[in-house]
Amino acid sequence: MNSLARFFCVPLFMMIIISLSPSIAQAQDVHVVDTILTMTDGVKLDAFYVLPVSLPPSGGYPAILYIHGFSGNKNNNRSLAVTLARQGYAGVAYSVRGQGKSGGEFDFFTSKNLRSDLQAMINFTKSLPGVNPDRVAAHGASQGGIHAWMAAAYHMGVRAVVSIVANGRFEEDWAMNNAVNWLFATTLMTDKVRFAPLVRDTIRQAIKDDNFSFIRSKLEEFSTTRLEKGVITPTLMLVSYYDQYFNPSSALRQFHNISAPRRIVLWPAGHSAPSDPSQMAYINDVTERWLRYWLKDDTSVESVASPDSAVVMFNATTGKPHVYSLSNSGAWLYPTDPLPFKFHRIRLYISGDGLLRRPPTKSGYLLTSYLRGLGSNALSLPLGTFPGPMFIAGTMGKAHLVTNGLGSTYQINLLLFDKQGDGSSKPVTRAHYQVRNNDRSTRDVLEFDLNTAVHTIFFQHTLELNITGGMGLLPNPSFDFGNAVLGPYVNSIDTIFYGGDNMSYIDVYIYDLTTPDIIPVPKSITLYQNFPNPFSASTVIQFGLEKPDHVTLSVFDLMGRKVRTIFDGKLDKRLYLFRFEPGNLPGGVYMYQLRTSTAVLTKMMTLRR
């Protein structure tokens, strides 16, 4: 979603007038009708509706209003609307004003004009022949996800909402900790949206002048944060960890405040659907059950609304879903006192020797220089090897830094990576903070949250913290993951102090066996079933040793031929997790075997192509 705000708009109450000459098309077993809806200010919205050909059930068809992403159009949702119409749902989709073939001008996602359009489209959906007006849902992703959420936040009379990769906390998403989100700042370049007059100039000038207070105040004005606790519409939120636009932690804070029945699913990806087919299948299943329960009163799927399983967080490395109850917020939001059962805090201290598990014995400082437009050198601080595995929980971590900068404003970016044995890395979490109106003569104590993520650090991997003073003109796709921000407008040399009275550290929260000092010793040699199984891109194999031993972990085909050695070497007594990537192996059934000096254990797994 490319996003842009117009900060000034004229409020108009909108009503709709259905075009007298709709274009009617037939899509096999459903009726699809393209039409134009005219608002009372004369703006015409391009739309279509789809109706099942079967007789409506008692009370009428359930219906869904679909809203597309930014710079898209109504046809982005045509296939989905037709598919669900075949399952008994009437549907409506429209091009948001200023986009597609709709008239008018875009003047921000939650402007009065766009809210009035949304309410008008909800009313139109309810008015369709055969539709049950009490069984209408709003569904959308990105910009559409904002609109779906807006239908709940502004009490627009829908039965349920499905909001995908979006939330309404704009001041956190795009102006968190005194810095402007990079993608928000660059969306003025698109020519696929017709913006309201002066929008481009207003935003560009504010960004050019580094007028952060103006940008922040306008984002707060358009934000829905103040409305969250009043939401009574059942809400399904689908969110990604590394979204370049929407902070996943902001989504969780919004979710936590809702009083209505709610469910949230998070997965490892950017501003997109998950790449893992099993995760995508799960999300589709949850969405389908959510709609069936709330729109069709199907009690056979009522577990989808259970508070005992309302939070699902997919592990970024194992792919496994971790399920939490609403009441156990210490496992998925902020740390509680006491922490949830089996949860532990890990404090990682910044030092001249990298990240340390204990406070550094020496005091000192680290320097990073930043040049506007060119970016900053990254300070790389590895944790060092540890026996692993370490399961980082979804509980939001925190940074505590003692800093100083020579610029009138300076920025600190933290990017935590899972450093793998082959030198490659995977993102874990990130955070940033920008100090404005800097007093160069004093040291600043910065405390800010790390983005949420669930991530397992495997055996022979480690954590590496990278610290920068800001990125260049363009983000590095392999480094600047998640909600990257614009670098400062002035050059600076930034200092991070450590040791003594100037301890700098990050806190992360881990679960069960994940603390390097608290790894349980198995009572016997154990080989577990791989997960996921069946699998395609990769799978995780877990085993445990009750004593130190030489271990060989291998994969064989059904003819008994060894096709891969995953590990061969000496291991200590504990649990281990290894990721197996099949490469170009053909699909089929394989055996994975754990061989020690005293035992040979074998299990089967299925590779799908």
The fold adopted by the segment(s) 526-607 is Immunoglobulin-like (2.60.40)
Give the 3-state secondary structure of residue 299. helix
Collect all residues with Cβ–Cβ distance below 8 Å to 313 and sequence separation of at least 6.
265, 266, 321, 322, 324, 332, 394, 452, 454
How far apart are alpha carbons 588 and 608 in whole angstroms? 7
Partners of residue 136 on adjacent β-strands: 63
Q: What is the DSSP letter of 221?
A: H
How far apart are alpha carbons 287 and 39 in whole angstroms? 31
Q: Which of 250, 69, 270 is nearest to 171 (CA)?
A: 250
Residue 368 tokens read as 């990073």
Q: Which of 360, 343, 342 is nearest to 351 (CA)?
A: 360
How far apart are alpha carbons 560 and 555 in whole angstroms? 9
pLDDT recorded at residue 6: 21
How far apart are alpha carbons 93 and 449 in whole angstroms? 38
Half-sphere exposure (Cβ direction) of 554: Cα atoms closer than 13 Å: 15
For the domain 16-327, what is the CATH code?
3.40.50.1820
Domain segments of the chain as ranges: 16-327, 343-514, 526-607
Give the H/E segment covering residue 602.
strand 600-607
Query: Residues 49-73, buried b or exposed e (16+ Cβ, 10 A)?
Result: bbbbeeebeeebbbbbbbbbbbbbb
Q: Which of 122, 116, 118 is nearest to 137 (CA)?
A: 122
Q: Which of 350, 339, 428, 336 is nearest to 390 (CA)?
A: 428
Residue type, 604: M
Pairing of strands 235-240, 160-164: parallel
Q: Are 408 and 489 in contact (CB under 8 A)?
A: no
For the domain 343-514, what is the CATH code?
2.60.120.260
Quick one: angle between helices 199-208 and 212-222, nearest 10?
Answer: 130
pLDDT recorded at residue 12: 23
Query: Residues 447-456, buried b or exposed e (16+ Cβ, 10 A)?
Result: ebbbbbbbbb
Mean pLDDT of successive 10-residue stretches along the chain, which has 609 residues: 27 28 55 95 97 94 98 97 97 98 95 96 98 98 98 99 98 97 87 85 88 94 97 98 97 98 98 93 96 97 96 93 94 90 91 94 97 95 75 95 98 95 89 97 97 89 94 92 96 98 96 49 83 87 90 95 94 82 94 95 95
Binning the chain into helix, strand and coil, the percentages to the nearest 5 are 20, 35, 45
